[in-house]
A = this chain, B = another copy of it.
């Protein structure tokens, strides 16, 4: 009836603190370049917090959101934008709201190495699209 879904990417070993630092530093540079007060979080491949920082004057909701965006990405093995798009499409897509721990706002991205999930980055503080841009800058630091 339905086509076979693609097999999900496997979970790999947890991201190291050292690598998490490289990613956060890259994301922070992007945030500071834009003068965006933001919280940035990295969780490992099992959803446990590795590294977190927030710039001064970040909105107070963003500490929790940054961490939850990263957790959402790892736990559902997809970016938070996937859930945001589900909501935007309406209808059955609204079911994303009933998934525990799912954040449906851009800014949570998987961190992948050797085709395995090693963790995720979550960014919060400005508009969803800005959060996504800074998270992307973090992910870019993984590329050789």
A interface residues with partner B (beta carbon < 8 Å): 1-2, 4-5, 7-8, 10-11, 13-14, 16-17, 34-35, 37, 46-57, 59-61, 63-65, 68, 72, 74-77, 83-84, 87-88, 90-92, 94-105, 126-130
Contact = CB atoms under 8 A, between A and B. Distances in A.
Nearest to A105: B95
Contact of A7 (B5, B35, B83, B100): B35
Q: How many copies does the complex hold?
A: 4
B60 A100 contact: no
Contacts of A90: 90-91
Contact of A50 (B8, B54, B74, B129): B54
A105 B59 CA distance: 20
Nearest to A106: B95
Contacts of A17: 53-56
Contacts of A101: 61, 64
A94 to B, nearest CB: 4
23 contacts: A2-B130, A5-B127, A8-B57, A8-B59, A10-B57, A17-B55, A17-B56, A48-B60, A49-B52, A49-B54, A51-B53, A60-B74, A60-B75, A61-B99, A68-B100, A84-B92, A87-B92, A88-B95, A90-B91, A95-B105, A96-B98, A97-B104, A98-B102
